[in-house]
Amino acid sequence: MNEHPAVTIRKPRVDDRPLWDIVFGIWGYPAVLVAYDLKLFPLLAEKPRTLSEVCGALQIARRPAQALLTVCTSLGLVRLQDGGYSLTPLSEEYLLENSPTYFGGGLDLTITNYSLYSFESLKKAVLTDTPQAYGGGREMFKSHEEQADLACAFTRVMHSTSMGPALAWPEVIDLSRHKVMLDVGGGSGAHCIGATWRWPSLHAIVFDMAPVCEVA
């Protein structure tokens, strides 16, 4: 008969909330990608919709529609009031294509490369110390140097995720005494746009690869 050492039972020193956040994040966050891909956010931008109206417009059953709306509501992307679902300012700023800070490019990249974020892919990257992007085995920015289409597509994605910060940081840094800003590896020019929008007398230069500068 096996004997096991006695274990003293005690209350944990810290709460397990962070672990549940990880687990629920893995379960729940993909629902946001599905809602985005199904065009839920521009639908709600038109006018508030009931659950039944969302089902009809997206052509999905009540149960999955309610699940998507519940996740989006819990994350502050959607709100429910008087039986109607509508967008929050967060979604209006970042999930509508007509917004200058539209984040859709980043979500599109995540959806396209979703297999990269699987347990198997991440574990392979850790054990082999090799990149998994673009089929694996190739360093991302080296691939961009060799294939202009990849560089252009990536630059457009980065633009969508950079415009929010680009319009924020110039408010806390005084560039009024400066005439020229050189952004090395400046990508789409998002940060140059933000800087010159705040400081119109500033002249901004983007230094990057030729295909990237075409996007800029």
Q: In degrees rounded to 5, what are phi and psi of residue 37?
A: -65, -30
Is the pLDDT at 117 greater than 90, yes or no?
Answer: no
Q: Is the pLDDT of residue 137 over 60?
A: no
Which band of pLDDT confidence, cut at 50, 70 and 90, is reported for residue 66? Answer: very high
For 184, the token pair is 């090395």
CA–CA separation, 75 and 16 (whole Å): 20
| pLDDT on residue 1 | 59
Set out the domains of the chain in order of their start, with CATH numbers: 17-94 (1.10.10.10), 104-215 (3.40.50.150)
CB 105 within 8 A of CB 161: yes
**Residue 11 burial (CB < 10 Å; 0-12/13-18/19+)?**
exposed
- What is the radius of gyration, based on Cα positions, of the chain? 23
Contact 14, 54 (CB under 8 A): no
Work out the mean pLDDT of the chain and round it to a whole number.
91
pLDDT of residue 141: 67
Diameter of the chain by CA atoms? 83
Q: Tell me the percentage of the chain whose pLDDT exceeds 90.
A: 68
pLDDT (0 to 100) of residue 138: 63
CA dist 132 and 189 (Å) reads 27
Q: Identify the pLDDT of residue 135.
A: 66
